[in-house]
Chains A and B, each alone.
Chain A
């Protein structure tokens, strides 16, 4: 299966700390994306990193991709209570649909 698997399943941190979430996948990909889902809402696209990229930034988000290890990490710096949500990685490979992992639940304590 192409499905990404996030790690850890749940993460609880204090406001102001950094949050690091990981995603591993099984086969070669074209790109990897991270989405956020707030409670009771749909998923929202955060950032995309292509297979030929190693690192990408967007505001307080930093994504890395290691294709040799088939893994990615999402770092949220200086976390805020509003970052509390579930985070999903999604992998996109040739001739297959975008496949989502099961998600990581992040709780940021005020």
Chain B
């Protein structure tokens, strides 16, 4: 039972390059989220998926796309990376009842865009 896994752990890109961050969960949760974490900014929601086949924008979606490939996997794509996208990216899988949710985070992907 691995929980939430993310690949890669580290990545360096040049401006304009593209890449896909992968996330997978084995907890059979419906909802999955992508965040970025920057110093002094806390966690900011990029996109989320409430169920397989659905995705919605969060607080900072510009420059990103997502795919909910199946219930387990939720990927984040940068089509043309910019230095402003240098950040640590976290995927979270969400356990939710009708009245509460608890988020389970992956270990993060550290991205540097030069």
Q: B45 on the interface (CB 8 Å rule)? A: yes
Using an 8 Å CB-CB cutoff, how does the interface string of B94-108 with A read, 1 for contact, 0 for none?
100001111111111
Q: With a CB–CB cut-off of 8 A, which chain A residues contact B45?
A: 97
Q: Any chain B CB within 8 A of the CB of A33? A: yes
Tell me the complex Cα distance, A94–B45, Å: 17
Contacts A100-B42, A101-B42 given; indicate if A41 touches B58 (C-beta within 8 A): no
Q: How many residues of A contact B (CB 8 A)?
A: 22
Main secondary structure of the interface of B (DSSP, over half): strand
Q: Which residue of B lies closest to A44 (CB)?
A: B105
Determine whether B53 belongs to the interface, using a CB cutoff of 8 Å to chain A: no
- Is A88's CB under 8 angstroms from B100's CB? no
Interface of chain A residues 35 through 92 with chain B (CB within 8 A): 35, 40-45, 48, 50, 88, 90, 92
Binding site for A on B (CB under 8 A): 4, 33, 40-43, 45, 48, 58, 90, 92, 94, 99-108
